[in-house]
Amino acid sequence: MKAGTTDRYLSFKNIDCEGNSKKLIQLLRRHIDDPEKSNAFWEQFKTKLALVGKPEKNGGRCLDELFLIHTYINNFYEIFETYEDNEALELLERIERECC
């Protein structure tokens, strides 16, 4: 392991998985809220985003941003690579390394 990196298997201390996940969703929204960049998948994904933190509207199941990122990580990589969004790609890689 490189010096200065966090081993997620030993400790999640000082890793802001929740904050980083929320930030990544904001970066994603820059793309999927643009009708020129969105598609049927991302439109359906927005309905899942609307359920985050609302278990009463999701059959008692509480979704969060990190769960959605982890579940659809390949789709995230694809859209960020397509639009050459390096900021989002770097954050996605960090989340995958530290939190997934």
Buried b (16+ CB within 10 A) or exposed e, 6-18: eeeeeeeeebebe
Model pLDDT, residue 5: 58
Distance of CA 57 to the CA centre of its chain: 21
* pLDDT band at residue 70 under the 50/70/90 scheme: very high
What mean pLDDT comes out for the span 24-42? Answer: 97
C-beta separation of 49 from 68 below 8 A: yes
Residue-level length of the chain: 100
| Burial tier of 44 (Cβ tally within 10 Å: 0-12, 13-18, 19+) | exposed
CA dist., res. 39 & res. 13, Å (int): 37
* pLDDT band at residue 8 under the 50/70/90 scheme: very low
Q: Is 44's pLDDT higher than 80? A: yes
Q: What is the mean pLDDT of the chain?
A: 90
* pLDDT band at residue 15 under the 50/70/90 scheme: confident
Say which residue, 35 or 6, is predicted with more confidence: 35
